[in-house]
A and B are shown apart, each in its own frame.
Chain A
C-alpha cells in the first residue's frame, strides 16, 4: 500500500476564485489519478496524471478548468479554476501501486465548498 496525503483537507471558497489541491505519496508512483465526488454521488475520474507527460482528461473535464501538474513521481496538484457552487465536491487523488498492478489507493480527500 501507500500513504497518501492531501492538502487542504477542506476549504470554503468564493465563486470565481481558484483552489489548488496537493497530493503527496510516500513512494514513487508512475500513475496518479484525480477523482471528483459530488455530494451524495459516486466517484468520477477527472484525469490521469503521469509524470513527464500531459495529463489525460476524461470526457466532460477540460484542462482550463482543472489544470494538473505532476512535477515528480511522488507529487501532483489539481487546480479547480474559476469556481462555481457546482464545483462543491470531494476531490480525491489516487495512485496505482505498483505500476503494473491494479491496486489503487486513495488519499483522504479534499472537501471543497464554493459559496
Chain B
C-alpha cells in the first residue's frame, strides 16, 4: 500500500528565512507521481508541482524548489526567502500509475507559519 509521511507537523520561521518541508513516501510501484499542494487559510487546494518517478531532476520555480531522491524515497520542498504569504498548510501526495484512476494519497500536511 502506498503511504506518504510528512514528519514535520508545524514549522515556524521568520520572513526571509529559507525553509524545507520534508516528504517521504512508500510505494511498491516503479512508476508513480508525486505532488505538492498548498492550502492557504481560505481552504482551497493549490497545485504546486507534479513529478513522475522517472524524472529525478530537481526543479526550481521562483522561490520554490523541489528535491526528488528515489534512493531515499523523498520529495522535499524548499521555499527560499520565505514571505508571510507563504503561510499555509502544505501537502505532499502520491499517485501510483498502477491504480487505474490515479487516486491521490496525501501526507498529513505541514503547517508553515511565516512571521513578519
Contacts and interface: CB of A to CB of B under 8 A. Distances in A.
Interface of A: 1, 31, 33, 35, 41-45, 48, 50, 56, 58, 90, 92, 94, 96, 102-109, 111
A11 to B, nearest CB: 14
A103 B47 contact: yes
Interface of B: 33, 35, 37, 42-45, 47, 50, 52, 91, 95, 97, 101-104, 106-109
Contacts of B52: 102
Contact of B97 (A33, A92, A102): A102
A27 B102 CA distance: 19
A46 B4 CA distance: 18
Secondary structure of the A contact surface, majority rule? strand
Contacts of B95: 102, 104
Contacts of A1: 47
A57 to B, nearest CB: 12
Given A90-B43, A109-B45, A104 B106 contact: no
Nearest to B47: A105
Nearest to A49: B101
A94 B103 CA distance: 10
Contact of B103 (A48, A90, A92, A103): A48
28 contacts: A31-B102, A33-B104, A41-B108, A42-B91, A42-B108, A43-B45, A43-B91, A43-B104, A44-B106, A45-B103, A48-B101, A50-B101, A58-B103, A90-B43, A94-B104, A96-B101, A102-B50, A102-B52, A104-B47, A104-B95, A104-B102, A104-B104, A106-B44, A108-B42, A109-B43, A109-B44, A109-B45, A111-B43
Contacts of A104: 35, 47, 95, 102, 104
B100 to A, nearest CB: 9
Contacts of B107: 42
Given A42-B91, A42-B109, A102 B44 contact: no
Contacts of A109: 43-45
Contacts of B44: 106-109
